[in-house]
Chain A
Amino acid sequence: MKRLINQVPSKTTNLFLGLLPFLLIAIVYISSSNARLAENPNDKLLPSIEKSINSMSKLAFEKSKRSGEYVLLNDTLSSLKRLAMGVGISALFALLVGVTIGIIPYVTSTVSPLIWFFSLVPTMALLPILFIVFGLGEVSKVVLIILGIAPIMTREIYQRVKEIPSEQIIKVQTLGANTWQIIIRVITPQILPRLIDAIRLTLGTAWIFLISAEAIAATEGLGYRIFLVRRYLAMDVILPYVLWITLLAFLIDFILRIFNQRLFPWFGKE
């Protein structure tokens, strides 16, 4: 029927329509940048694409005069390390605690309200306390990520454990499985792909906490660089860095998705 809801774009149109908003943004950016640069060739607010590429390639492929290191590589590695530690520890915590409170009622009663409470605390507001307790070093940056995402992940895992049909649990009990066996053989294998999904969902939040932590005290990192060059309005560095962070986030998400598909092909096909 010829109604708007029934008209589906062809493959090429689909691709074109998807790219159109990006194209529009690029056109608006380039034209406003040109307008500003025509007035002031040194304008920093909307640098030309060439200038951004130039600055970025210097940061990426030339050793810094100050430290003798590749700045972009260094920033990326230290940020990814913090992110991996924060997310890794959170995932482990969520798996251990989420499964336990999902399956053992006594632990549920004791721990669940606490996790629920912590998942509601606005983590950024805890920052001053965090400094005093963990200092300004690497630890407080990782702890900030953990405090920000671990409770949410744990609640998510807890929900997913609750969703496992009770028939399954009853069935394995009739076959003689004890609590430990149920956790290891029945619950955990089913939870693992959901844990990866939980990681994918919280990664965006984890990035926010990472960048915030690096803004407050750091010697390197993607967030550090952005907040450092902000002091002299170097948009030719800030804009590519934001794109780079977005690309990294996309890649990590993509890898995790592939990982899930390969390792747990049954997941999502039930």
Chain B
Amino acid sequence: MKTSTFTKSFRLLSLIVLFLGLFSTSLFAQSKKDFKVAWSIYVGWMPWDVIASQKIMDKWANKYGINVEIVQINDYIESINQYSSGEFDGCVMANTDALGIPAAGGVDSTALIIGDFSNGNDVVISKNANSIKDLKGTNVNLVELSISHYLLARGLEKNGMSEKDITVVNTSDADMVSAYTTPQVTSVVTWKPQVSEILAMPKANNLFDSSKIPGEIIDLMVVNTQTLKENPALGKALVGAWYEMMSLMNTDTQKAKELKSLMAKASGTDLAGFEDQLKTTNMYYTAASAVEFNNSKEIIKNMEFVAKFSFDQGLYGEGASDYTFVGIEFPKGKVIGDKENIKLRFDDTYMKMAADGKL
């Protein structure tokens, strides 16, 4: 008798699990009207905050008959993880993270908007070294596997060195500024706004920054390829709202100042501080310039560097045999890596629509 009760309850339980599973998958299959995109604080992504607060997003979403919610996430990596697990339809991220997290995790992603590239926002700073070569044998504090790590790897490479010549100490970005004030920490790699604070300290040499590898650290709005395919309205609404904001920002008017002040305030600085960050950010204010970059040979070469770095650091997991494991697609059918496993797409379709005024 006892066993039969057990078998019964076991069957019931398996049924419940099965039902729950089916139920949750069927939810995804329904055609969507409501979309969620995530953003986190960084100079190149602050426009999203104002796009949301100034109802520019609502205006474009209404035009295409959908709802788009723009959500701020405090922890950058957490926002990407949430996107990868399907909580969000889109998320802002840098190219290395787009390749290393969602794409390597099998989530087919499309770089819908190329917002900018870092042109000096990311810096290798040292107290006593005067060049990258002087770093040999020392500790460097940085957020491991991040853009900072990539920047350092490229800096070392350009000086004929490799990561074996130094010791990387994984340090949380929130603690970078206070870490720099302690005697044990001699060199750090980090990004703005922390960089501005550290460079203002008495002993701080800029050894290498992202302006020496232009176009390699790219900031993107990434959306789920499947979702975009089924709902082109999402792509149109996001791109439309973004370039409306870009053209509002890229003027010398009082309105542009107001908008930038809003962005400055939301990122914890003032207008002057924000303008300073913008100076080292190569913003693509017009859709045409972003499309041009998207179609350049340069971006293919740069993504190849990023793919090699990602593979060397083990971001592709144990199943990967070399850096071509994840395929990256560019306009006109150009692909680097595995054509059977394309998971990151630089697609200029929607940016082109914006450039041609067809949105």
Contacts and interface: CB of A to CB of B under 8 A. Distances in A.
Interface residues of B, number: 42
Contacts of A24: 13
Contact of B184 (A35, A136, A215, A228): A136
Interface string B138-151: 00010111100000
A136 B84 contact: no
Interface string A206-238: 000000000111110000100110111110100
A32 interface: yes
A186 to B, nearest CB: 46
Nearest to B313: A66
Given A27-B14, A132-B181, A217 B175 contact: yes
B128 interface: no
B170 A218 contact: yes
Nearest to A47: B317
A31 B21 contact: yes
Interface stretch (A38-46, A80-88, A142-150): A38-46
Contact of A228 (B167, B170, B175, B181): B170
Nearest to A219: B169
A55 interface: yes
A217 B144 contact: no
Given A24-B13, A28-B17, A132-B182, A42 B171 contact: no
B168 interface: yes
Given A45-B85, A54-B318, A232-B101, A136 B145 contact: no
A128 interface: yes
A233 B172 contact: no
Interface string A227-263: 1101111101000000000000000000000000000
B106 A40 contact: yes
A28 to B, nearest CB: 6
Contacts, number: 108
B100 A232 contact: yes
B271 interface: no
A54 B317 CA distance: 11
B38 interface: no
B179 interface: yes
B245 to A, nearest CB: 30
Interface of A: 24, 27-28, 31-32, 35, 39-45, 54-55, 58, 65-66, 127-128, 131-132, 135-137, 215-219, 224, 227-228, 230-234, 236
28 contacts: A27-B14, A27-B17, A32-B21, A35-B21, A42-B106, A44-B84, A44-B104, A44-B105, A45-B105, A54-B318, A128-B175, A131-B175, A131-B178, A131-B182, A132-B181, A135-B184, A136-B184, A217-B141, A218-B169, A219-B168, A230-B77, A230-B81, A231-B77, A231-B144, A231-B145, A231-B146, A232-B105, A236-B317
